[in-house]
Amino acid sequence: MRTVKSPFKFKGGVHPDYNKELARERAIERLPMPAELVISMSQHLGTPAKCLVKAGDFVRRGQLIGEKNGFISVCVRASADGKVKAVEKRPGPAGGMADAVILDTAAELPSDLPALEPLSPLDWKTATKEELLKRVEEAGICGMGGAGFPTNVKLSPPPGKRCEYLILNGAECEPYLTADFRLMLEKADRIRIGVEIMRKILGGPAVRIAIEANKPEAIAAMEKAFADIEGNVEIVVLPVLYPQGSEKHQIYATVGRVVPEPPALPIDVGCVVENVGTVAAIADAVEKGEPLLERVTTVSGDAVAEPKNILAPTGTKYADLIAFCGGEKERPAKAISGGTMMGFAVPSPEIATTKTTSGLLLLTKKRVFQYSSQACINCGRCVRACPMNLNAAEIAKAVESDDIKGAEDLHVMTCIECGACSFSCPAYRPITQFCRRAKNSIRARIAAEKAKAAAAAAKEAK
Amino acid sequence: MKPKDTAQHYILSSSPHAHAKSSVSRIMLDVIIALLPTTAAGIFFFGMPAVWTVLVCVATCVLTELLCRLAMKRENTVGDLSAVLTGLLLALNLPAGIPLWMAIVGSVFAIAVAKQVFGGLGMNPFNPALAARAFMLISFTGPMTTWLKPFWWKTPDAVTTATPLATMKTWFITEATASASPHGLCNTACSGVPGLWDMALGNIPGCIGEVSAIALALGAAYLLWRKVITWHIPVSFIATVFVYSLIAGGAPAIMQVLTGGVMIGACFMATDYVTSPTTAKGKLIFGFGCGLLCMLIRQFGSYPEGCSFAILIMNAVCPLINRWTQPKPFGGK
Amino acid sequence: MIAIVCIAGIGLVVAAALAIADRYLSVQEDPRIGMVTAALPGANCGGCGFPGCDGYARALVAGTAPNGACAAGGDAVAAEVAKILGVAATATEKRVALVKCCGTRSEAIRVGDYNGICDCAVAAATAGGDKGCKYGCLGYGACANVCPKGAISIRDGLAKVDKRLCIGCGKCVTACPKKIIELVPASATIHVLCANPDKGPNVRKVCGVGCMGCHLCEKNSGGKEANHFTFQGFLAKTNYQNPPTDAAIVAKCPAKCMIEDPHFETGR
């Protein structure tokens, strides 16, 4: 094991105000069980899980309440004992409506409720690769960095492809967020076990632990935890630059490989990137038989009385998190699920956390800016800032004049929506949103074409 | 009856929710600040006529912008300071002795025709100040090429003179006939051409803002430090002028750079965001084209000075350069 | 002199070439295409699914398109086309677009202040849009932007269709991300302007004029047997196969989400 400095610097990137000092020194605290949980069936990327319970049912902590529904899907387990008040459509942090189980955790369980068969702890040293993978799937683990990609899918490279590098994402380049930082500090041993398990599943790849240079304590903690590990393991210290935590840029910064344009995936260049939180969750799922039922969420921002890193069950309403932090210090102008660069603005504190909620930020008016409809002055700051080296200004102009095809020709599908362009635009143009709009239109068009082709094929078959 | 709206209203917007806090008006302000040294130098050398030209141009531009926006029923954009900057740039590109009514006509043209007709800031294909200068050069050729001597008030006999460039232009011609080229500054052939030191300071006839190379360099350094401009256009522009004159002969290369509009053009006019390419590669090509055209006009054209026209021509080519120099995406083919 | 001869010569040669080309290279086009194109309204709205009126005319003559797909022209055009093509005309009703929402800014609550691109789909993708009712019109004009006739305007945060201008091309129906625009018979005058199928109390939380599914409109229009309304969840829908005609029921709607408006350009 050794610690190295990242030798590769990607083009572009920005330096937002990190504001991490607000919650940096706050040790992880466990939230007392809230009276009501809202457990969404769509906490991951892909098809929502199929709900298995109905209003009036009693459930136990860890019980399967949502069944995996398709290949790119993740099961959902109850994060507390309780009675199902209702199953209804609720908006998620990103605004999409999905079925959610409203759980009354204060309800007393009937004495004749059968005991739950828990997941049994596994010894990862003796368990087979298949057993370990199955456990990851059963525990309902998905990428906890934000996108929520099903972890068991990521850990099963398609035939013909081999994972050469397992990269641990501890960059946490999003402003304000310190959840991963605290986790690396406090649960370094869990992360180490997770790494060993994943290494076994992936057939012994080299391991790179990527941490930004502004987290020396985390680097030290990881160095200590991994000191005696065998094999090719390196801690790579990354320069402080947003979006260092982006999968593609992290792969480049740690091993110097470039992931081609979509639909290529990291595995195409022999890499698997996992967030440190996910790795710790894998360790718990295997060693303790504990499914993914809770996660660390940073509650911060200048409107929060007492910023904290909270270990809360998934499905906790934002209002409960805010109350645990002493409430609002000032009137917030914006609430954000996630970090300030890629997080989602949420309309109310009634939204509940999911497996991917890394942070909740309440910002006062001082910290919030308004987008404008000013014209582009062609200054090129967005082009310089774009880590994907896209001509963001031209893309925005194309989308503005409804020229989606033009945006596609400018490679808008390669955009990772990191927000560096909008961040640096002096005309306050919503460039990232223009890119999103183009991507959504293109995706819709492709889906429509596919459906049309499928319908035509079906007609032919008849 | 509207339901009771108790929920707190948060701002809903797409990410990112953080901003670098740069703004268009701040950028314009930076350029104006960067132009202050050369404005001061111009006033120092040309006196009160320079002051009046600057004031009249700025005031007319702001007023025209205001009226145009009102007439078009669009939001008022005077606050972005771009009209102030256009007025200042235009004034700095005029001879100090220009009749003020011509300065007013030029300013109105810059804002109304070269900018607002196209939709305002960000939409104009040509640099408004340069377009206005070209317009004035054609409309008022006499006054636009009548130059006040620096400190003209101290020389009561002849207050106007030719620019060093006009003198230098003849060198290209003598170059062709004379076997020995005069590269020394105190040569007989270059009588009427001031010394290098005067050129750097600005003690030469010319437009208000173009004479003092040192003041312009100071401003350019400020812009580079504030990251308002990048080095690409000024460096490739000036380097092209320099190398061209080394190869083509004629006046010494350093003089070609220091006189006329090369310095102000390379640092302030060609770097105008709206009318220059976005990518580094595009900027290098743009600067090179400006330098080359400028020297071609100086050598072969009928005007002694080609800087404004060179930049205007390159402005027109800018969309094409942008097309050629699309960046290659990270991971793209 | 030489110049005159040259020019004249060139003129002659070119004229001859053109005459020959016209004779031997001319494309024999079915004359009916021109006639059908002339019969169509010429709005090129694309509502029929073909590229412009000319495209539809070609498809009609080729027999690959059904007559009556031109919503803009309606029955008169269909009859004309039928006459040219020598087929029987099928009567169609003129249909116009209807935005099924009446939650203006003063009636429907907003849950946030949206700040971004002025487009419904994009606004809907940002935290589900700023309107409390997840089914309601966002009022960012996606429909108005695609309307070829300028029949849709946004007033008080709500899209309004001017029935007299609408040609029923259906472009707005596909453009609306909330899917609340429907093509309805132009002759129908009584409409339910709501698309929220939730229970009454939930609708009331977000909108003062949302349908609560109380069935009063059904009762007042002659009961279930009269079959003037259908229900989806807690939402009444006008049965456009058999639309109600008694305007009295509009005033009796407790939710005030019904209108009786021959033009519905003003809305409720």
Rounded to a whole number of angstroms, the CA Rg of chain A reads: 22
Provide the pLDDT confidence category of residue C92 given band limits of 50, 70 and 90: low
pLDDT given for residue C91 in this prediction? 60
Residue C257: per-residue pLDDT: 86
Mutation target to probe the B interface, by most B beta carbons within 10 A, among C102, C104, C107, C111 is C111
**A433 backbone dihedrals φ, ψ, rounded to 5°:** -65, -35
User: For tokens 């456990």, what's the residue?
Assistant: A135
Q: Where are the alpha helices (DSSP H) in chain B?
A: 24-46, 48-72, 82-92, 100-108, 128-139, 141-144, 164-177, 196-201, 213-225, 232-248, 253-258, 262-264, 280-300, 307-324
In chain A, what are the domain boundaries? 2-25+123-288, 381-448
A360 strand-pairing partners: A299, A337
pLDDT at C268 over 90: no
- Residue A222 DSSP one-character state: H
Determine the pLDDT at residue B261.
86
Mean per-residue pLDDT of chain C: 84
Q: Does A98 touch chain C (CB under 8 A)?
A: no
- Per-residue model confidence (pLDDT) at position C206: 87
Residue A437 burial (10 A CB sphere; 0-12, 13-18, 19+): buried
For B3, which of C113, C117, C205 is closest by C-beta distance? C205
Q: Nearest-CA residue of chain B relative to C116?
A: B13
The maximal CA–CA distance of chain A, rounded, in angstroms, is 70
pLDDT, tens only, C223-243: 888 888 989 889 998 888 888
Q: Region C166-190: what's the mean pLDDT?
A: 88
Residues of B in contact with C111 (CB under 8 A): 7, 9, 12
Question: Which residues of C are less than 8 Å from B7 in CB distance?
Answer: 109, 111
Helix/strand/coil percent split, chain C, to 5? 35, 15, 50
Torsion on CA atoms A311, A316, A318, A324, rounded to nearest 10: -50
Q: Which residue of B has its CA nearest to C128?
A: B12
Of the residues B8, B13, B17, B19, the best mutation for testing chain C's interface (the one with the most C CB atoms within 10 Å of its CB) is B13
Tell me the backbone φ, ψ of residue A363, rounded to 5 degrees: -115, 140
Q: Does residue B212 fall inside a structural domain?
A: yes
Give yes or no: residues B76 and B122 share one domain.
Answer: yes
A110-140 in b/e form (b: 16+ CB < 10 A) is eeeeeeeeebeebebeebeeeebbebbbbbb
By C-alpha distance, the chain B residue nearest C114 is B12
Contact between C111 and A373 using a beta-carbon 8 Å cutoff: no
Asked if A371 and C121 come within 8 Å (Cβ–Cβ), the reply is no
| Mean pLDDT (chain A, rounded) | 92
Task: Name the residue among C114, C115, C206 with its Cβ closest to that of B3.
Answer: C206
In a domain, B116, yes or no: yes
**For residue B182, what pLDDT is reported?**
39
Residue A20 has pLDDT above 60, yes or no: yes
Encode chain B (333 residues) as per-residue pLDDT tens digits.
Answer: 566 665 568 899 998 999 998 999 999 999 999 999 999 999 999 989 999 999 999 999 999 999 999 999 888 889 999 999 999 999 999 998 899 999 999 999 999 999 999 999 989 999 999 999 999 998 998 888 888 888 877 776 666 666 767 666 665 554 444 433 333 333 333 445 667 778 788 888 888 998 889 999 999 999 999 999 999 999 999 999 999 989 987 778 888 888 888 999 999 999 999 999 999 999 999 999 999 999 999 888 877 778 999 999 999 999 999 989 999 999 887
- The Cα-based distances of B133 to A392, B212, B300 in angstroms read 33, 19, 21
**Burial class of residue A206, CB neighbours in 10 A (0-12, 13-18, 19+):** middle
Distance from C-alpha of A27 to C-alpha of A5, rounded to nearest angstrom? 28
**Same structural domain, B50 and B131:** yes
C12 burial via Cβ count (<10 Å: 0-12, 13-18, 19+): exposed
In this structure, are B136 and B179 located in the same domain? no
Interchain proximity C208–B12, CB inside 8 Å: no
Residue B16 located in a structural domain: no
> Three-state SS for B88?
helix
Q: What percent of chain A has pLDDT over 70?
A: 100
Structure confidence by residue, pLDDT tens digits, A258-310: 999 888 999 999 999 999 999 999 999 999 999 999 999 999 999 999 999 99
Give B213 to chain A, closest Cα distance, Å: 25
Where a domain ends, among B90, B122, B144? B144
**Are β-strands C112-114 and C190-192 bridged in parallel, bridged antiparallel, or unpaired?**
unpaired
Total domains, chain B: 2
Q: What is d(CA B205, CA A393) in angstroms, rounded to the nearest whole number? A: 41
Q: Which helix (H) or strand (E) holds A40?
A: strand A36-40
For residue C263, name the pLDDT band (cuts at 50, 70, 90). low
Residue B184 pLDDT: 35
B273 and A380 in contact by Cβ < 8 A?
yes
Mean pLDDT computed over A446-450: 91
Same domain for B165 and B128: no
The domain limits of chain C are: 31-92, 95-260
Peptide bond into B95 cis (omega under 30): no
Q: Which residues of A touch B10 (CB under 8 A)?
A: 332-335, 345-348
Q: In what order do the strands lie in the sheet with A165-170?
A: A2-5, A233-238, A206-212, A165-170, A271-275
CB contact under 8 A, B11 and C127: no
Boundary-marking domain end, from B110, B144, B178: B144
Asked if the model's pLDDT at residue C150 lies above 90, the reply is no
Touching subunits for chain B (3+ Cβ pairs under 8 A): A, C
The structure tokens 């000191």 sit at A227
pLDDT over 70 percentage in chain C: 95
What is the distance between the alpha carbons of residues C44 and C46, in angstroms, rounded to a whole number?
A: 6
Contact assignment for C127 to A371 by CB distance below 8 Å: no
Reduced to 3 states, what is the DSSP secondary structure of residue A319? Answer: helix
* Residue B151 counted as domain residue: no
Residues C126, B14: C-beta atoms closer than 8 Å = yes
Q: Which chain B residue's Cα is nearest to C132? A: B5
pLDDT tens for A97-119 read 889 999 999 988 888 888 888 88
pLDDT of B183 reads: 39
A331 at B interface, C-beta within 8 A: yes
- Between chains, do C115 and B13 touch, taking CB under 8 Å as contact? yes
Q: Phi/psi class of residue A256: alpha, beta or left (left: φ > 0; alpha: ψ in -120 to 50)? A: left
Q: Which residues of C touch A370 (CB under 8 A)?
A: 115
| Residue C207 to residue B5, Cβ atoms within 8 A | no
A310 touches chain B (CB under 8 A): no
* Structural Rg of chain B based on CA atoms: 22
Q: Of A20-34, A156-170, B11-25, B184-198, where does mean pLDDT reach its minimum?
A: B184-198
Q: What distance in Å separates residue C45's CA from the closest CA in chain A? A: 18
E-assigned strands of A256-314? Answer: 271-275, 294-300, 308-313
Strands (E), A68-130: 76-77, 82-91, 97-104
How close is the nearest chain C Cα to the Cα of B19, in Å?
14
Interchain proximity C125–A373, CB inside 8 Å: no
Quote the minimal CA–CA distance from C191 to chain B in Å. Answer: 20
Question: Quick check: helix, strand or coil at residue B48?
Answer: helix
Strands A50-51 and A76-77, bridge-based pairing: unpaired
**Alpha helices, DSSP H, located in C63-213:** 74-85, 120-125, 142-146, 171-175, 200-206
Neighbours of chain C (3+ CB pairs under 8 A): A, B
pLDDT at position B172, please? 56
Interface mutation vs chain B, best among A177, A248, A372, A389, most B CBs within 10 Å: A389
* Domain at C31-92: CATH code: 1.10.15.40
**Same domain membership, residue B120 and residue B226:** no
pLDDT tens digits along A310-348: 999 999 999 999 999 999 999 999 999 999 999 999 988
Do B18 and A389 count as a contact with CB atoms less than 8 A apart?
no
Of A26, A40, A28, nearest to A316 by C-alpha is A40
pLDDT at site B166: 67
Residue B328 lies in a domain: no
CB distance from C208 to chain B under 8 Å? yes
Any chains having at least 3 CB pairs less than 8 A from chain A are B, C
Amino acid in position A283: A
Range of the structural domain that residue B229 is part of:
158-323
Q: Which residue of B has its CA nearest to A257?
A: B331
- The verdict on B64 and B106 lying in the same domain is yes
Q: How far does the CA of residue A231 sit from the closest CA of chain C (Å)?
A: 45
Residues B138 and B108 placed together within one structural domain of the fold: yes
Q: What is the pLDDT of residue B186?
A: 35
pLDDT band for A418, please (50, 70, 90 cuts). very high
Chain C CA closest to residue A402: C145
Least confident of A446-455, B310-319, C64-73: C64-73
Question: What is the CATH code for A2-25+123-288?
Answer: 3.40.50.11540
Q: Which of A360, A436, A439, A452 to mutate to test the interface with C (most CBs of C within 10 A)?
A: A436
pLDDT score for A308: 95
Q: Give yes or no for C31 touching B (CB within 8 A).
A: no
Question: Which of A232, A249, A233 has the alpha carbon at shortest distance from A241?
Answer: A249
Contacts of C125 in chain A (CB under 8 A): 95, 436, 440
Which residue matches tokens 């200042």? B88
Residue B311 sits in the same domain as residue B247: yes
Chain C positions in Cβ-Cβ contact with residue A371 (cut-off 8 Å)? 115-116
Which of chain A's residues have a Cβ under 8 Å away from the Cβ of B15?
338, 340-345, 417, 419, 422, 432
Q: Summarize the confidence of residues A67-92 as an average pLDDT.
A: 92
Domain spanning C95-260, CATH class: alpha beta
**CB contact C234 to B (< 8 Å):** no
Mean pLDDT within A7-11: 90
Q: What is the pLDDT of residue B193?
A: 61
Tens-digit pLDDT profile for residues C7-60: 888 888 988 888 888 878 777 777 888 888 888 888 777 777 777 888 888 888
Taking the Cβ of residue B188 and every Cβ of chain C, the question of whether any pair is shorter than 8 Å is answered with: no
Do the chains contact at B121 and A377, CB–CB below 8 Å? yes
- Interstrand relation of A344-346 and A334-337 (parallel, antiparallel or unpaired): antiparallel
Q: Report the pLDDT value the prediction gives residue A66, as an integer from 0 to 100.
A: 93
Question: What pLDDT shows up at residue B178?
Answer: 40
